[in-house]
Amino acid sequence: MRTHGDTAWLGSDSDQEFVQRLLRRDEAAFVRLVDTYHFRLLRLALPLVGSRLVAEETVQDTWLAILDGLAGFEGRCSLKTWMFHILLNRARSRAAKEGRSLPFSALGPAKEGPVEEPERFTAAGMWAVPPSPWGVESPEALVLRGEAMECIEEVLAQLPANQRAVVTLRDVEGLEAEEVRELLQLSESNQRVLLHRGRAKLRRALEERFGEAR
């Protein structure tokens, strides 16, 4: 899935121009940044640290690191991806201090079979067949629809932590597979398996929910 074009919050600014506004201590820019990304950082932190309290603390640490590091933002990736990198680093540091690992650290080769028929996915990991109750809409397209987001969030919260993080980054945040692999330090095969399994569970849950509503 490709980036969802969620740069509208930047207005007419590029990432670099917006960063310059932040460096000039533009309060309106900072409020817009926090309003846009605080929940999104928290949503990603939750499956990584497993506790709402720890997730909140990790996000607060992330905001401080973002502000401290703005002058070093070089634009090699999007501002969003850069902030996610900082969040992941903070989560890893917290886990190391507490003597635990993130859900991905000990992830080995997948031993289970696929949870959905392989022919329902393309080689690139996209849905080959749209869910019948939704007509022509895929789960990824539903993510973009405001009326489906509450349901999407509920279902995402029920996924295993590693699948939840991968699906969130790929299908909610619109990151490319390579970006997600780098962020979560996953191999190509493990990222693909986690994405397929997460999407399959998400699809089945949404099919049941929408089916019951009819």
Q: Is the dihedral of CA 167, 173, 176, 182 positive or negative?
A: negative
Q: Could you report the per-residue pLDDT of 16-58, keeping only the tens digit for each?
A: 889 999 999 999 999 999 999 999 999 999 888 878 999 999 9
Enumerate residues 6+ apart whose C-beta is below 8 A from 105.
95, 185
Question: Structural domains in the chain?
Answer: 6-97 (1.10.1740.10), 118-213 (1.10.10.10)
Task: Yes or no: say if 131 and 6 are a contact pair by the CB < 8 Å rule.
Answer: no
Residues 166, 153: Cα–Cα separation, whole Å: 14
Among 67, 66, 73, 85, which residue's Cα sits nearest to residue 17?
73
11-20, 32-41, 104-113: least confidently modelled range: 104-113
Q: Could you report the per-residue pLDDT of 173-203, keeping only the tens digit for each?
A: 999 999 999 999 999 999 999 999 999 888 8
pLDDT, residue 97, reads: 79
